Amino acid sequence: MANKTKAVRLDSKSERAKLAPRGVPYYASIGRDLHLGYRKGTKGGVWVARRRVAGKYMGETLADADDIHPANGKTILSWTEAQDAARRWAGGDDAFAAEPGAPLSVAQAVEDYLKFLEAHRKSAATARNRAKNDIVPPLGHRRVDSLTAKDLRDWLSALAARPRLTRGKKGQPARALACPETEEEIRRRRSTANRTLTILKAALNYAFAEGRVANDTAWRAVKPFREADTAKVHFLTPEEAARLVAACEPGFAELVQGALLTGLRYGELTRLRCGDFTPTANRLTVGKSKSGKPRHVALTGEGRSFFSQLAAGRPLRDVMFLRPNGAPWGASHQARPLARACERAMIDPPATFHILRHTYASALAQSGAPLGVIAAQLGHANVRMTTRHYAHLSDDYIAETVREKLPTFGFNREDQEGAS
């Protein structure tokens, strides 16, 4: 994606409102021999593009500006969308990239970092989605070297204050949820803002490390919200887990059992194939995970028996878990059957599929499994997240073990008398 060049007079509605109406567009350079123009009328304006070819300009009207009505990405465009449209008309992002040595924009820094992630580290789908929705719209046009700590703190505060969004139906935009201002809701929004800040700072640090910007003071001074990521982990007891499996519909019960026996995410489970189960090694191979790296998940005897029955006599390339109609499980297919099962099993509050993963990890922690082992089973890149969620359960096990195993030294006279 090419640099988003900031033009002071064109990049906001309030600035454009100060311009006098005229037939000749106000132009801003957005690349080599490429300009984006704004033709101001008495009732709003339109975006136009022009490019120089063989010493002469060629022009094209793109769409209305979002002066009166909000941008819709097609007939009404924002400043950033108009830049993209101008570059597409001119021949693509690469054909009219920013001038060599031009100041780096936040949008370009983020895009460079995402490309690095995709090429060298792991899937960047989540980071790209957060950047598209929460970083580029408010900050993408800014020059990285113009950012201040206050700019970033204001952005972070606004992001945390924004209500949560719910996914719209196909073809429809997301809508804001009217959430109560409880401590937990505030914590969740701040936690989400912290994760987005991590992506932005990683992108800016990457630009700094690559020598694209000379100073990193502004974003180093911005700290995430404190105590926003210490969510209370909910998990099922063994008795609740058994009730839940018994209440599941045929076909879905196997999927829930698989989650409880492995701690796999929903997507990891539904991508499993029969050949991913190795009975001789007593383990599953997860080829594609959130971290982008494959991993092996060790199974208990109960887990080995379960997957042996599930894969018996089936081709290795068959999808392991299938719906009752024989089709694979798709995205979000789990939500409704799980809600119905929780209602029948009287699980309150209702469990999400991710709670099954927490149940698996919590059971290991309570049994005294080292946090490094739990992290490896869950596919965490390190023990930081594992420690955050499950260390307190491991501490309970340690405390119980100490009380059970540490001998009495006889310092307490009451204990001595009672023993005699």
Phi, psi of 39 (to 5 degrees): -95, 115
Do 18 and 113 share a structural domain? no
Do 382 and 248 share a structural domain? yes
Do 178 and 42 share a structural domain? no
Q: Which CATH number goes with the domain that contains 318?
A: 1.10.443.10
**5 confidence band (pLDDT: 50, 70, 90):** very low
Question: Quick check: 238 pLDDT over 50?
Answer: yes
Let me know if residue 365 belongs to a domain. Answer: yes
Let me know if residue 233 belongs to a domain. Answer: no
Domain count, the chain: 3
Q: Considering only 164-173, 254-263, 296-305, 393-402, which range has the smallest mean pLDDT? A: 164-173
How many whole angstroms separate alpha carbon 418 and alpha carbon 50?
Answer: 95
- What is the model's pLDDT at position 96? 43
CA dihedral 380, 385, 387, 388 (to 10 degrees): -160
Do 113 and 190 share a structural domain? yes
Give the DSSP letter string of 19-42. SPP-SSPEEEEEETTEEEEEEEET
Let me know if residue 411 belongs to a domain. Answer: no
Question: Quick check: 32 pLDDT over 60?
Answer: yes
Last residue within a domain, chosen from 153, 188, 220: 220
Q: Which CATH number goes with the domain that contains 162?
A: 1.10.150.130
Q: Considering only 141-155, 167-181, 251-265, 309-323, which range has the smallest mean pLDDT? A: 167-181
Q: Which CATH number goes with the domain that contains 59?
A: 3.30.160
Do 112 and 83 share a structural domain? no
Do 34 and 176 share a structural domain? no
- CB contact at 8 A, 244 and 149: no
- What is the model's pLDDT at position 202? 94
- CB contact at 8 A, 34 and 90: yes
Per this entry, what is the length of the chain? 420
- CB contact at 8 A, 23 and 30: no
Q: Which residues constitute the domain of residue 321?
A: 238-404
Let me know if residue 99 belongs to a domain. Answer: no
DSSP conformational letter for 210: T
Do 348 and 207 share a structural domain? no
How many whole angstroms separate alpha carbon 397 and alpha carbon 305?
Answer: 28
Provide the angle, in degrees to the nearest 10, between the axes of the packed helices 383-405 and 371-378.
140
Q: Render the burial of 26-48: b for 16+ CB within 10 Å, e for the rest.
A: bbbebbeebbbbbbbeeebbbbb
Let me know if residue 361 belongs to a domain. Answer: yes
Question: Quick check: 173 pLDDT over 70?
Answer: no
For 344-398, how does the pLDDT look when each residue is reduced to its tens digit (9 = 90+)? 999 998 999 999 999 999 999 988 888 899 999 999 878 877 887 787 777 766 7
Do 279 and 162 share a structural domain? no
Do 398 and 255 share a structural domain? yes
Percent of the chain's residues with pLDDT above 70: 85
- What is the model's pLDDT at position 169? 61
Let me know if residue 389 belongs to a domain. Answer: yes
How many whole angstroms separate alpha carbon 38 and alpha carbon 150?
Answer: 31
- CB contact at 8 A, 164 and 179: yes
Do 395 and 261 share a structural domain? yes
**6 confidence band (pLDDT: 50, 70, 90):** very low
Helix or strand holding residue 58 (H, E):
strand 56-65
β-bridge pairing 295-298 and 283-286: antiparallel
Do 244 and 215 share a structural domain? no
Let me know if residue 182 belongs to a domain. Answer: yes
Residue with tokens 């992002």: 93
Question: Quick check: 246 pLDDT over 50?
Answer: yes
Strand residue runs (E) in 228-374: 277-278, 283-286, 295-298
As given in the structure block, the two tokens for residue 313 are 């006599």
Let me know if residue 416 belongs to a domain. Answer: no
Question: Quick check: 214 pLDDT over 90?
Answer: no
- CB contact at 8 A, 62 and 86: yes
DSSP conformational letter for 131: I
In sequence order, the 6+-apart residues with CB closer than 8 A to the CB of 39 are 22, 23, 24, 25, 26, 45, 46, 47, 48
Do 281 and 170 share a structural domain? no
pTM: 0.56
Looking at beta carbons, which pairs linking 364-367 to residues 24 or more positions away fall under 8 Å? 364/390, 365/390, 365/391, 365/393, 365/394, 365/397, 366/393, 366/394, 366/396, 366/397, 367/397
